[in-house]
Amino acid sequence: MATYKEISGFNIKSLATDPSNLLEGEIWYNSTSGTLKVAPFLASWASGTAYGTGRHSYGSAGTQTANVIWSGYSTTMTNLTEEYDGSSWTASGVIGTSGYGARGFGIQTAAVSAGFFTPGGQQTNVYEYDGSTWTAGTGIPAGRMSMGTAGILTAGVVFGGSSGPGAVHTSNATFEYDGTNWTTSNVMTTGRTYLGGFGTQTAGVGCGGYSGSPAPGTTVDATEEYDGSSWTAGGALPAVIARLSTSGILTAGLSFGGSAGPGAVTTTNSYDGSSWTTSVATLAGATWNGGGSPAGTSTVALSTAGGSPHPAATEEFTSVTTAQTVTTS
Protein backbone atom coordinates (compact mmCIF):
# COMPACT_ATOMS: atom_id res chain seq x y z
CA MET A 1 0.00 0.00 0.00
CA ALA A 2 1.34 3.45 -0.91
CA THR A 3 2.16 5.85 1.92
CA TYR A 4 0.78 9.39 2.16
CA LYS A 5 4.26 10.76 1.31
CA GLU A 6 4.46 8.57 -1.80
CA ILE A 7 1.08 9.86 -2.96
CA SER A 8 1.42 13.54 -2.05
CA GLY A 9 5.18 14.01 -2.08
CA PHE A 10 5.43 15.16 1.54
CA ASN A 11 4.79 13.93 5.08
CA ILE A 12 1.84 14.91 7.24
CA LYS A 13 2.98 17.65 9.63
CA SER A 14 2.99 17.05 13.38
CA LEU A 15 1.86 20.18 15.26
CA ALA A 16 1.23 20.87 18.93
CA THR A 17 -1.70 23.17 18.05
CA ASP A 18 -3.97 23.56 15.03
CA PRO A 19 -2.76 26.14 12.45
CA SER A 20 -4.25 29.62 12.82
CA ASN A 21 -4.60 30.15 9.05
CA LEU A 22 -6.16 27.02 7.63
CA LEU A 23 -5.90 26.04 3.99
CA GLU A 24 -8.59 24.00 2.25
CA GLY A 25 -7.59 20.31 2.21
CA GLU A 26 -4.71 20.75 4.68
CA ILE A 27 -3.95 17.65 6.82
CA TRP A 28 -1.88 17.52 10.02
CA TYR A 29 -1.38 15.49 13.19
CA ASN A 30 -2.18 17.30 16.44
CA SER A 31 0.37 15.85 18.87
CA THR A 32 -1.37 17.38 21.89
CA SER A 33 -4.73 15.73 21.29
CA GLY A 34 -3.26 12.72 19.49
CA THR A 35 -5.66 13.15 16.56
CA LEU A 36 -5.40 13.47 12.79
CA LYS A 37 -6.95 16.75 11.58
CA VAL A 38 -8.17 18.01 8.22
CA ALA A 39 -9.47 21.38 7.01
CA PRO A 40 -12.47 20.80 4.72
CA PHE A 41 -14.23 23.57 2.83
CA LEU A 42 -17.83 24.04 4.00
CA ALA A 43 -20.20 26.17 1.93
CA SER A 44 -23.97 26.67 1.90
CA TRP A 45 -26.81 29.02 0.99
CA ALA A 46 -29.38 29.99 3.63
CA SER A 47 -32.70 31.80 3.26
CA GLY A 48 -32.82 35.49 4.12
CA THR A 49 -35.71 37.94 4.33
CA ALA A 50 -37.48 38.39 1.00
CA TYR A 51 -37.19 41.83 -0.56
CA GLY A 52 -40.28 43.98 -1.07
CA THR A 53 -41.10 44.11 -4.80
CA GLY A 54 -40.26 41.02 -6.87
CA ARG A 55 -38.64 41.85 -10.21
CA HIS A 56 -35.88 40.91 -12.63
CA SER A 57 -33.15 42.64 -14.63
CA TYR A 58 -32.37 45.17 -11.90
CA GLY A 59 -29.19 46.77 -10.62
CA SER A 60 -27.42 45.72 -7.44
CA ALA A 61 -24.42 46.86 -5.41
CA GLY A 62 -22.83 46.32 -2.01
CA THR A 63 -22.20 43.33 0.21
CA GLN A 64 -24.24 40.65 1.97
CA THR A 65 -24.97 42.88 4.98
CA ALA A 66 -25.13 46.24 3.17
CA ASN A 67 -26.80 45.71 -0.19
CA VAL A 68 -28.95 47.82 -2.49
CA ILE A 69 -31.11 46.94 -5.50
CA TRP A 70 -32.94 49.28 -7.88
CA SER A 71 -35.08 49.53 -11.02
CA GLY A 72 -35.95 46.38 -13.00
CA TYR A 73 -39.10 44.85 -14.40
CA SER A 74 -41.98 43.67 -12.24
CA THR A 75 -45.42 43.85 -13.80
CA THR A 76 -44.02 46.96 -15.45
CA MET A 77 -40.75 48.89 -15.47
CA THR A 78 -39.94 50.28 -12.04
CA ASN A 79 -37.72 52.93 -10.40
CA LEU A 80 -37.91 51.45 -6.88
CA THR A 81 -34.86 51.14 -4.62
CA GLU A 82 -34.50 48.79 -1.63
CA GLU A 83 -31.70 48.37 0.91
CA TYR A 84 -30.67 45.27 2.88
CA ASP A 85 -28.85 45.36 6.22
CA GLY A 86 -28.22 41.65 6.52
CA SER A 87 -31.55 41.11 8.23
CA SER A 88 -34.34 43.18 6.65
CA TRP A 89 -35.16 45.25 3.58
CA THR A 90 -36.27 48.90 3.59
CA ALA A 91 -37.48 51.15 0.79
CA SER A 92 -35.19 54.02 -0.21
CA GLY A 93 -35.18 56.91 -2.69
CA VAL A 94 -36.33 56.13 -6.22
CA ILE A 95 -33.89 56.29 -9.12
CA GLY A 96 -34.43 58.88 -11.84
CA THR A 97 -35.48 56.49 -14.61
CA SER A 98 -37.91 53.58 -14.65
CA GLY A 99 -36.41 50.78 -16.70
CA TYR A 100 -34.50 47.52 -16.61
CA GLY A 101 -31.11 46.19 -17.62
CA ALA A 102 -29.20 48.64 -15.39
CA ARG A 103 -25.98 47.29 -13.91
CA GLY A 104 -24.23 48.46 -10.77
CA PHE A 105 -20.93 48.57 -8.93
CA GLY A 106 -19.67 50.00 -5.66
CA ILE A 107 -20.94 49.85 -2.09
CA GLN A 108 -24.34 50.59 -0.56
CA THR A 109 -23.44 54.18 0.33
CA ALA A 110 -21.47 54.90 -2.85
CA ALA A 111 -22.99 52.97 -5.75
CA VAL A 112 -23.19 53.55 -9.49
CA SER A 113 -26.00 52.54 -11.84
CA ALA A 114 -24.94 52.41 -15.50
CA GLY A 115 -27.08 51.81 -18.59
CA PHE A 116 -30.81 51.21 -18.94
CA PHE A 117 -33.44 49.85 -21.24
CA THR A 118 -36.61 51.91 -21.57
CA PRO A 119 -39.32 51.93 -24.25
CA GLY A 120 -36.97 54.18 -26.21
CA GLY A 121 -34.24 51.52 -26.30
CA GLN A 122 -30.80 51.29 -24.70
CA GLN A 123 -29.87 54.41 -22.73
CA THR A 124 -26.66 56.05 -21.50
CA ASN A 125 -28.13 56.92 -18.07
CA VAL A 126 -25.77 56.93 -15.09
CA TYR A 127 -26.83 57.60 -11.49
CA GLU A 128 -24.82 57.74 -8.27
CA TYR A 129 -26.29 56.63 -4.93
CA ASP A 130 -25.20 57.93 -1.52
CA GLY A 131 -27.20 55.52 0.64
CA SER A 132 -30.48 57.43 0.37
CA THR A 133 -30.62 59.53 -2.81
CA TRP A 134 -29.80 59.04 -6.47
CA THR A 135 -28.07 61.84 -8.43
CA ALA A 136 -27.56 61.90 -12.19
CA GLY A 137 -23.94 61.41 -13.30
CA THR A 138 -22.13 61.64 -16.61
CA GLY A 139 -23.68 59.25 -19.12
CA ILE A 140 -21.69 56.34 -20.53
CA PRO A 141 -20.39 57.01 -24.08
CA ALA A 142 -22.99 54.76 -25.74
CA GLY A 143 -26.40 53.36 -24.87
CA ARG A 144 -26.18 49.96 -23.19
CA MET A 145 -28.05 47.48 -21.02
CA SER A 146 -27.06 44.29 -19.17
CA MET A 147 -23.31 44.99 -19.06
CA GLY A 148 -20.65 43.43 -16.88
CA THR A 149 -19.30 45.68 -14.13
CA ALA A 150 -16.45 45.87 -11.61
CA GLY A 151 -14.94 48.37 -9.19
CA ILE A 152 -16.06 51.24 -6.99
CA LEU A 153 -17.67 54.65 -7.61
CA THR A 154 -14.36 56.46 -8.17
CA ALA A 155 -12.68 53.61 -10.08
CA GLY A 156 -15.23 51.53 -11.96
CA VAL A 157 -15.41 49.72 -15.28
CA VAL A 158 -18.29 48.48 -17.43
CA PHE A 159 -18.00 46.15 -20.40
CA GLY A 160 -20.03 44.30 -22.99
CA GLY A 161 -23.79 44.57 -22.82
CA SER A 162 -26.55 45.02 -25.37
CA SER A 163 -26.04 47.87 -27.81
CA GLY A 164 -29.48 47.68 -29.43
CA PRO A 165 -31.81 47.85 -31.09
CA GLY A 166 -32.77 44.46 -29.63
CA ALA A 167 -31.93 43.13 -26.19
CA VAL A 168 -29.37 40.66 -27.57
CA HIS A 169 -27.20 42.77 -29.87
CA THR A 170 -23.83 42.45 -28.24
CA SER A 171 -21.03 44.92 -27.60
CA ASN A 172 -17.36 44.30 -26.74
CA ALA A 173 -16.70 47.89 -25.62
CA THR A 174 -15.06 48.76 -22.29
CA PHE A 175 -15.58 52.05 -20.45
CA GLU A 176 -13.80 53.18 -17.28
CA TYR A 177 -15.29 55.60 -14.72
CA ASP A 178 -13.38 57.86 -12.30
CA GLY A 179 -16.43 59.12 -10.42
CA THR A 180 -16.94 61.98 -12.87
CA ASN A 181 -15.94 61.04 -16.40
CA TRP A 182 -15.90 57.97 -18.64
CA THR A 183 -12.90 56.87 -20.73
CA THR A 184 -12.98 54.32 -23.54
CA SER A 185 -10.57 51.42 -23.04
CA ASN A 186 -9.63 48.33 -25.05
CA VAL A 187 -12.36 45.97 -26.22
CA MET A 188 -13.14 42.49 -24.94
CA THR A 189 -12.14 39.55 -27.14
CA THR A 190 -15.71 38.25 -27.21
CA GLY A 191 -18.59 40.71 -27.32
CA ARG A 192 -21.47 39.58 -25.16
CA THR A 193 -24.46 40.68 -23.12
CA TYR A 194 -26.16 39.46 -19.92
CA LEU A 195 -22.68 38.52 -18.66
CA GLY A 196 -21.32 38.42 -15.14
CA GLY A 197 -18.68 40.82 -13.84
CA PHE A 198 -16.71 41.21 -10.61
CA GLY A 199 -13.42 42.51 -9.23
CA THR A 200 -11.80 45.93 -9.56
CA GLN A 201 -11.02 48.40 -12.32
CA THR A 202 -7.49 47.04 -12.62
CA ALA A 203 -8.27 43.38 -11.88
CA GLY A 204 -11.71 42.63 -13.27
CA VAL A 205 -13.46 39.54 -14.60
CA GLY A 206 -16.15 39.12 -17.25
CA CYS A 207 -17.76 35.70 -17.61
CA GLY A 208 -20.53 33.92 -19.47
CA GLY A 209 -23.30 35.73 -21.31
CA TYR A 210 -24.93 35.70 -24.74
CA SER A 211 -22.50 36.20 -27.61
CA GLY A 212 -25.26 36.97 -30.13
CA SER A 213 -23.62 34.73 -32.76
CA PRO A 214 -24.47 32.58 -34.57
CA ALA A 215 -27.88 33.06 -32.92
CA PRO A 216 -29.11 35.77 -30.52
CA GLY A 217 -29.39 33.27 -27.65
CA THR A 218 -25.98 31.63 -28.14
CA THR A 219 -24.57 31.25 -24.63
CA VAL A 220 -20.85 31.10 -23.84
CA ASP A 221 -18.61 29.82 -21.05
CA ALA A 222 -15.74 32.20 -21.84
CA THR A 223 -14.02 34.15 -19.06
CA GLU A 224 -11.86 37.21 -19.66
CA GLU A 225 -9.64 39.10 -17.20
CA TYR A 226 -9.04 42.87 -17.30
CA ASP A 227 -5.85 44.50 -15.99
CA GLY A 228 -6.95 48.12 -16.32
CA SER A 229 -5.98 48.25 -19.97
CA SER A 230 -6.34 44.95 -21.82
CA TRP A 231 -8.39 41.77 -21.74
CA THR A 232 -6.88 38.27 -21.68
CA ALA A 233 -8.47 34.83 -21.63
CA GLY A 234 -9.18 33.22 -18.26
CA GLY A 235 -10.46 29.78 -17.35
CA ALA A 236 -13.77 28.75 -18.90
CA LEU A 237 -16.85 28.36 -16.73
CA PRO A 238 -17.87 24.74 -16.03
CA ALA A 239 -20.88 25.25 -18.33
CA VAL A 240 -22.28 27.85 -20.70
CA ILE A 241 -24.39 30.33 -18.74
CA ALA A 242 -25.88 33.82 -18.98
CA ARG A 243 -27.90 36.19 -16.74
CA LEU A 244 -25.77 35.17 -13.76
CA SER A 245 -25.01 36.98 -10.49
CA THR A 246 -21.58 37.48 -8.93
CA SER A 247 -19.48 38.42 -5.91
CA GLY A 248 -15.78 38.71 -5.06
CA ILE A 249 -12.48 39.63 -6.66
CA LEU A 250 -10.38 38.26 -9.53
CA THR A 251 -8.50 35.73 -7.41
CA ALA A 252 -11.50 34.75 -5.28
CA GLY A 253 -14.81 35.19 -7.07
CA LEU A 254 -18.25 33.59 -7.25
CA SER A 255 -20.92 33.19 -9.90
CA PHE A 256 -24.38 31.86 -9.05
CA GLY A 257 -27.73 31.33 -10.68
CA GLY A 258 -28.32 32.27 -14.29
CA SER A 259 -29.72 30.71 -17.45
CA ALA A 260 -28.25 27.65 -19.12
CA GLY A 261 -30.38 27.06 -22.18
CA PRO A 262 -34.12 27.51 -21.61
CA GLY A 263 -34.10 27.15 -17.82
CA ALA A 264 -32.66 28.84 -14.74
CA VAL A 265 -30.06 27.09 -12.56
CA THR A 266 -29.13 26.86 -8.87
CA THR A 267 -25.41 26.32 -9.48
CA THR A 268 -22.60 28.14 -7.66
CA ASN A 269 -19.11 28.35 -9.17
CA SER A 270 -15.91 29.69 -7.59
CA TYR A 271 -12.96 31.31 -9.42
CA ASP A 272 -9.36 31.43 -8.19
CA GLY A 273 -7.93 33.72 -10.86
CA SER A 274 -7.24 30.95 -13.36
CA SER A 275 -9.92 28.26 -13.14
CA TRP A 276 -13.51 27.69 -12.05
CA THR A 277 -14.76 25.00 -9.65
CA THR A 278 -18.38 24.01 -9.10
CA SER A 279 -19.29 24.43 -5.44
CA VAL A 280 -21.17 21.89 -3.34
CA ALA A 281 -23.48 24.77 -2.35
CA THR A 282 -26.57 25.32 -4.49
CA LEU A 283 -29.27 27.96 -4.31
CA ALA A 284 -32.61 26.83 -2.92
CA GLY A 285 -34.36 28.38 -5.89
CA ALA A 286 -33.25 28.63 -9.52
CA THR A 287 -32.92 32.25 -10.58
CA TRP A 288 -31.82 34.42 -13.51
CA ASN A 289 -31.38 38.18 -14.00
CA GLY A 290 -31.23 38.61 -10.24
CA GLY A 291 -28.86 40.55 -8.02
CA GLY A 292 -25.58 39.74 -6.35
CA SER A 293 -23.08 41.39 -4.03
CA PRO A 294 -20.58 43.18 -6.29
CA ALA A 295 -18.62 44.50 -3.30
CA GLY A 296 -18.87 41.18 -1.46
CA THR A 297 -16.43 38.30 -1.24
CA SER A 298 -16.19 34.67 -2.31
CA THR A 299 -16.94 33.55 1.26
CA VAL A 300 -19.81 35.90 2.16
CA ALA A 301 -22.23 36.74 -0.66
CA LEU A 302 -25.86 37.65 -1.35
CA SER A 303 -28.28 36.47 -4.02
CA THR A 304 -31.53 38.30 -4.69
CA ALA A 305 -33.86 36.43 -7.01
CA GLY A 306 -34.87 37.39 -10.50
CA GLY A 307 -36.75 35.57 -13.22
CA SER A 308 -40.46 35.17 -13.70
CA PRO A 309 -43.04 35.31 -12.15
CA HIS A 310 -40.91 37.86 -10.30
CA PRO A 311 -39.90 36.13 -7.07
CA ALA A 312 -38.40 38.19 -4.23
CA ALA A 313 -36.31 35.54 -2.48
CA THR A 314 -33.06 36.44 -0.74
CA GLU A 315 -30.33 33.88 -0.05
CA GLU A 316 -27.08 34.31 1.88
CA PHE A 317 -23.90 32.41 1.02
CA THR A 318 -21.30 31.51 3.64
CA SER A 319 -18.21 29.37 3.33
CA VAL A 320 -15.57 28.57 5.88
CA THR A 321 -12.56 26.29 6.33
CA THR A 322 -12.58 24.66 9.76
CA ALA A 323 -10.44 22.07 11.51
CA GLN A 324 -12.10 18.69 11.93
CA THR A 325 -10.88 15.46 13.47
CA VAL A 326 -10.51 12.50 11.09
CA THR A 327 -12.44 9.47 12.35
CA THR A 328 -13.11 6.00 10.99
CA SER A 329 -16.88 6.37 11.13
Contacts by 124-131 with C-beta closer than 8 Å and gap 24+? 125/96, 125/97, 125/99, 126/177, 127/95, 127/96, 127/97, 128/153, 129/61, 129/68, 129/70, 129/81, 129/95, 131/83, 131/92
| 23 confidence band (pLDDT: 50, 70, 90) | low
Which fold, 42-320? Neuraminidase (2.120.10)
- Three-state DSSP class for residue 5: helix
The overall average pLDDT reported for the chain is 92
Q: Is the omega angle on the peptide bond into residue 119 within 30 degrees of 0, that is, cis?
A: no
Q: With bands split at pLDDT 50, 70 and 90, how would you rate the model's confidence at 42?
A: confident
Residue 5 in this model has a pLDDT that exceeds 70: no
| pLDDT per residue as tens digits for the range 153-201 | 999 999 999 998 876 789 999 999 999 999 999 999 999 999 999 999 9
- Give the number of other Cβ atoms within 10 Å of residue 216's Cβ: 14
- pLDDT per residue as tens digits for the range 86-137: 999 999 999 999 999 999 999 999 999 999 999 999 999 999 999 999 999 9
CA 39 vs CA 36, 54, 317: distances in Å: 11, 39, 19
